[in-house]
Amino acid sequence: MRLGHPVIDRYLEFVEARARYNTLLAATSDLRVFFTEIDKEPADVVVSDVLAFITAQRQPLFEGKVVRLSDGGSGLMASTIKRRLSSLSGFFSYLVMIGERESNPVPKGLSTRRSRKDKGALVPLVRTPRVLPKILEPAEVDALMGALRRWRDRAMVEAMVLGGLRRCEVLGLRLEDLRPGEGRVFVSDGKGGHQRLVPISRRFFRSVAAYLSTERPEHAETDRLFVVLKGPRRGQPLSEDGLDEIVRYTRSRVGLAHCTCHELRHTCLTRLREAGMALEAIQAQAGHRSIETTRIYLHLSNEWLADEYARAISLIDHSVLEAVAQ
Tell me the pLDDT of the chain (326 aa) as tens digits: 678 899 999 999 999 988 878 888 899 999 999 999 999 999 999 999 999 998 888 887 655 554 444 555 556 778 888 889 999 999 999 999 999 999 999 888 665 555 455 555 666 666 666 677 788 999 999 999 999 999 999 999 999 999 999 999 999 999 999 999 999 999 987 777 788 999 999 999 999 999 999 999 998 989 999 999 999 999 999 999 999 999 999 999 999 999 999 999 999 999 998 888 888 999 999 999 888 888 888 776 666 667 777 778 777 876 655 555 55
Q: Which amino acid is at 84?
A: R
Q: What is the pLDDT at residue 154?
A: 97
- Cα 170 to Cα 56, 246, 263, 313: the distances in Å are 37, 14, 14, 43
Fold of 6-117: DNA polymerase; domain 1 (1.10.150)
Q: What is the pLDDT at residue 122?
A: 62
Q: What is the pLDDT at residue 188?
A: 87
Q: What is the pLDDT at residue 245?
A: 95
Q: Confirm if 153 and 250 have CB atoms less than 8 A apart.
A: yes
Contacts for 166 with CB less than 8 Å, ≥ 6 apart:
160, 190, 191, 261, 262, 265, 287
Range(s) within the chain of domains with CATH label 1.10.443.10: 138-303
Contacts for 258 with CB less than 8 Å, ≥ 6 apart:
134, 251
Q: What is the pLDDT at residue 71?
A: 52
Q: What is the pLDDT at residue 180?
A: 94
Fold of 138-303: hpI Integrase; Chain A (1.10.443)
Angle between helices 21-37 and 47-57 (to 10 degrees): 100
Q: What is the pLDDT at residue 69?
A: 47
Nearest-angstrom CA–CA distance, 258 and 242: 18
